[in-house]
Chain A
Amino acid sequence: MNYDLLIIGAGGAGLSAAIEAMQRGAKVLMVCKTLPTRSQTVMAQGGINAVLHESGDSVESHIEDTLKASGGLADEESVRVLCKEAPSNIEWLERLGVPFSRIDGAKTPLESIAQRRLGGASAPRACYAQDYTGLKIVHTLYDKASSMGVEIRTRLFALSLIHDEEGVCAGALFLDIESGELKEIRASATIVASGGFSSIYHGYTTNAYGSSADMHSAILEAGGYLSNMEMIQFHPTALEGSAILISESARGEGGYLIDERGERFTNELAPRDEVSRAIFSKIERGGRVFLDIRHLGREKLEHLMPQELHLCRLHAGIDPVEELVPVSPAAHYSMGGIECDRQLRVSGLYNCYAAGECANAHLHGANRLGGNSLLEIVVFARMAAVNALESDKRVCRDTGETLHKAKAELERILGSEGEECDIYAMRREAGRILFEDAGIHRDAKGLEKAMEKISAMRERLSQAVSSDKSARFNTYLIDFMQLRSSLMAAEAMLVSALAREESRGAHYRSDFPYERQEWCRDTLCRLCEGEVVVS
């Protein structure tokens, strides 16, 4: 069976692309490794940016704010498209039934949508649905996609793209988690909508463990490019230990950050990267940092942030009404990713597109503005669907080598000729190394040290076999594969961070603590004889 469009990933981006393609009469298949609605998108609370009325705000200001936050790395043309298309895409969501929060006395449907101001925005332009914006968008999209009959195949883990020597793609190869079999799915065009890769910082990330760069490594292996992999946004306040996110609203409402002596040490309302660096400076020197919201009072806290109180009590056994909450920054969002052009075509490949957090569509540059990521997954995923369907296709002359190689590799991993290694210890170790040496503060020495260790792990894993040999529902094998992709993405991140000898946005080099004009450009990496190389 040959599809017009294969979509890998069923989060907000995958679903938006699928609905758009279905409305255009295409034969679409959407594939995910778990189930739709389990995606990272559901964790987005804040909102989705759009200028809905020109009183006190303008599309130009939205563009300006986005460019300013990006530290000069965003592409103005792409940002312009994103911001201009925002209102019509909110209308699209409104007409699909997204239950936005509302205001009273509006004259039009769009004007009735409630908006709040998020950090870095010059006006309140984030449309929201209480504290569940991502959740409600994804579930509404899922309800719609299902009702339209979008074919969804669940529990298929993407291993590689089917491609020829020229980089022409013809779909992808999956491991069927249910049966343990390999499945080739062929399509005229493929959209990768597989999410970010922050979970390479295992134990130090707010992301689900599944944000593991499966497709980033598949893109590299097929000959495609990744860019700005060093640009990782760290959220300042995750719970120490569990890395559960404590929302920005805690500081927005007047919470303090204090050190062990009980003293404030930073402006709590500064941009995320600045606050994260201030906190990390304390932690790096063996100190601890606490969020103090006790002075806000029980009544206010119960009303304003019931979810946060619950999470602190559950995961840290702490009642923020009376106690200090120990916090640490945690990897939260990947601005960089699969390099694509303005049409969202993946660089180095043909018939292949990328959309959402997995892609570097040159919107966020060195720092993402809150509310722009949900916007990207709708606007750019729909755009990717249109471009993928309307563009001319190249013929893929693959020789079946992808399947052949994957089969041999899988047999080896499930066989017994090799060392069983503790992949979970490796996952924890990799997360710790990356956080300590390639996280918020970076320098050449630390990055090189991290590179050495990550490469050694990658080498070791390439010889290792699975500790669970079952064919059916082998989630150990999936964790194994995810670790493999994560380590490759970590290498890409490390070589990029090493190459960028400057500090810009989320990327801070203590050995180059300033911005350098010659680095007002993207880092680009690809695979060369098994090694990730950067330019």
Chain B
Amino acid sequence: MKLEIMRFDGKRVERYEEFEVGRVATLLEAFYRIKEFEDPTFTFEAECRSGICGACAVRVNGKERLACSHTPMENDRIEPLEYHEVQRDMLVRREDSFEKLTKAGAYLHRYERSVPDTKEERKTEIQSDCILCESCYSACPVLAIDGSFLGPFALSRAYRYAADSREGAKEEIVASVQNSGVWDCTLCGECTAVCPQGIDPKGDILALRTLSLQSGYSDPNFATLSFSTPDFSF
């Protein structure tokens, strides 16, 4: 099987290179084959091989996939994640996007005594399945024009804590997602479509918008518009 892989040596050279990888079960197996048998300089990240560590996310024909969970097809075009500085080949700098978790208030601020039950468990079960592969981040078109946008995984995780009955400072989380946050999302749903864990960041962002409205915030995109002038069009 032939794969077309984007190469970047960390300086300026960027090109696509074809590799014949033979029969492989997963794209990650192809990566290892290239590094072990073809080109020891080929650079990528992977740890667990079973879809749980989030390290090996790349783009296959423009769609985000975990290399360890993707069965490659003839002539697949492989590229690193978008909206991250490419360091070498598939390796990207993830530290900046990870920092957005704290900015979005994605942590338990103040523990409040609560006795959760199975219904409570289900409220945040899916969101807390996140493996930080950042597929959603790479698929988000807002980040193409606004690098400061908190992005899907951080907002989804902010919702996970805001919806937790043990969180005693929900208002702080809601405040954290107002700027470059929930109102900047276009609700296109690309994040939801690519998540390997079946998480729905778009839905969580909508839920955060509801919490925001209930806390007295409003959509700043409508702030300058007036809907109260008389309508003479009839």
Name which residue of chain B comes closest to A106, CB basis: B115
Give B40-75 interface residues, CB cut-off 8 Å to A.
40-41, 43-55, 69, 71
Q: Chain A 34-52, CB within 8 Å of chain B: the 1/0 string?
A: 1101111011000000000
> B78: shortest Cβ distance to chain A, in Å?
17
Answer yes or no: B87 CB below 8 A from chain A CBs. Answer: yes
Count residues on chain A whose CB falls below 8 Å from chain B CBs: 58
Count residues on chain B whose CB falls below 8 Å from chain A CBs: 59
B36 and A129 within 8 A (CB): no
Answer yes or no: B142 CB below 8 A from chain A CBs. Answer: no
Q: Contacts A112-B116, A130-B125, A470-B41 hold; do A97 and B50 have CB atoms under 8 A apart?
A: no
B50 and A244 within 8 A (CB): yes
Bound: A147/B109 CA distance, A: 9
> B186: shortest Cβ distance to chain A, in Å?
26
Q: Which residues of A contact B47 (CB under 8 A)?
A: 34, 38, 208-210
Bound: A317/B118 CA distance, A: 36
Q: Which residues of B contact A453 (CB under 8 A)?
A: none
Q: Contacts A106-B115, A139-B132, A311-B50 hold; do A472 and B88 have CB atoms under 8 A apart?
A: yes
A42 and B52 within 8 A (CB): yes
Answer yes or no: A107 CB below 8 A from chain B CBs. Answer: yes
Q: Which residues of A contact B52 (CB under 8 A)?
A: 42-43, 132, 135
Answer yes or no: A105 CB below 8 A from chain B CBs. Answer: yes
Other-chain residue from B9, B116, B118, B160 in contact with A109 (beta carbon distance below 8 A): B116
Q: Chain B 97-133, CB within 8 Å of chain A: the 1/0 string?
A: 0110110001111010111111011001100111110
Bound: A99/B101 CA distance, A: 17
Q: Which residues of B contact A106 (CB under 8 A)?
A: 115, 117
Answer yes or no: B166 CB below 8 A from chain A CBs. Answer: yes
> A199: shortest Cβ distance to chain B, in Å?
10
Other-chain residue from A143, A315, A472 in contact with B26 (beta carbon distance below 8 A): A315
> A364: shortest Cβ distance to chain B, in Å?
22
Give A75-99 interface residues, CB cut-off 8 Å to B.
94-97, 99
Answer yes or no: B4 CB below 8 A from chain A CBs. Answer: no
Answer yes or no: B161 CB below 8 A from chain A CBs. Answer: yes
A102 and B120 within 8 A (CB): yes
A42 and B108 within 8 A (CB): no
Answer yes or no: A399 CB below 8 A from chain B CBs. Answer: no
Answer yes or no: B188 CB below 8 A from chain A CBs. Answer: no
Q: Which residues of B contact A143 (CB under 8 A)?
A: 101-102, 106-108, 157, 161
Q: Which residues of A contact B40 (CB under 8 A)?
A: 424, 467-468, 476
Answer yes or no: B35 CB below 8 A from chain A CBs. Answer: yes
By DSSP majority rule, is chain B's interface helix, strand, loop, or mixed? loop
Q: Contacts A95-B111, A208-B53 hold; do A139 and B116 have CB atoms under 8 A apart?
A: no
A472 and B115 within 8 A (CB): no
Give B1-39 interface residues, CB cut-off 8 Å to A.
9-10, 25-26, 35-37
Answer yes or no: A1 CB below 8 A from chain B CBs. Answer: no
Answer yes or no: A58 CB below 8 A from chain B CBs. Answer: no
Answer yes or no: A531 CB below 8 A from chain B CBs. Answer: no
Bound: A99/B118 CA distance, A: 11
Q: Which residues of A contact B166 (CB under 8 A)?
A: 94-95, 97, 109
Other-chain residue from A104, A107, A475 in contact with B118 (beta carbon distance below 8 A): A104
A108 and B115 within 8 A (CB): yes
Answer yes or no: A514 CB below 8 A from chain B CBs. Answer: no
Q: Which residues of A contact B160 (CB under 8 A)?
A: 99
> B150: shortest Cβ distance to chain A, in Å?
14
Answer yes or no: B94 CB below 8 A from chain A CBs. Answer: yes
> A510: shortest Cβ distance to chain B, in Å?
31
> B114: shortest Cβ distance to chain A, in Å?
7
Q: Contacts A102-B117, A104-B118 hold; do A42 and B35 have CB atoms under 8 A apart?
A: no
Other-chain residue from B49, B106, B117 in contact with A103 (beta carbon distance below 8 A): B117
A314 and B88 within 8 A (CB): no
A147 and B98 within 8 A (CB): no
Answer yes or no: A169 CB below 8 A from chain B CBs. Answer: no
Bound: A464/B52 CA distance, A: 35
Q: Contacts A43-B48, A314-B69 hold; do A136 and B113 have CB atoms under 8 A apart?
A: no
Q: Contacts A43-B50, A144-B107 hold; do A38 and B88 have CB atoms under 8 A apart?
A: no
Other-chain residue from B43, B102, B161 in contact with A475 (beta carbon distance below 8 A): B43
B43 and A315 within 8 A (CB): no
Q: Contacts A43-B50, A104-B117, A208-B48 hold; do A473 and B130 have CB atoms under 8 A apart?
A: no
Bound: A210/B9 CA distance, A: 23
Bound: A486/B130 CA distance, A: 31
Those 3 A-B pairs whose CB atoms lie nearest each other, nearest first: A97-B108, A424-B36, A208-B47
**23 examples of A-B residue contacts, CB within 8 angstroms:** A34-B55, A35-B95, A37-B54, A95-B111, A97-B111, A97-B164, A97-B167, A99-B125, A101-B118, A102-B120, A103-B117, A104-B118, A112-B115, A129-B128, A139-B132, A143-B157, A146-B107, A147-B102, A311-B51, A314-B71, A315-B26, A424-B35, A424-B40
User: A residues engaging B (CB < 8 A)?
Assistant: 34-35, 37-40, 42-43, 94-97, 99-109, 111-112, 129-130, 132, 135-136, 139-140, 143-144, 146-147, 154, 178, 208-210, 242, 244-245, 311, 314-317, 424-425, 467-468, 470, 472-473, 475-476
User: B residues engaging A (CB < 8 A)?
Assistant: 9-10, 25-26, 35-37, 40-41, 43-55, 69, 71, 87-88, 91, 94-95, 98-99, 101-102, 106-109, 111, 113-118, 120-121, 124-125, 128-132, 157, 160-161, 164, 166-167
Having A43-B50, A105-B117, A208-B48, one finds 6 other A-B pairs with CB under 8 Å, namely A37-B53, A109-B116, A467-B40, A470-B10, A472-B10, A476-B35
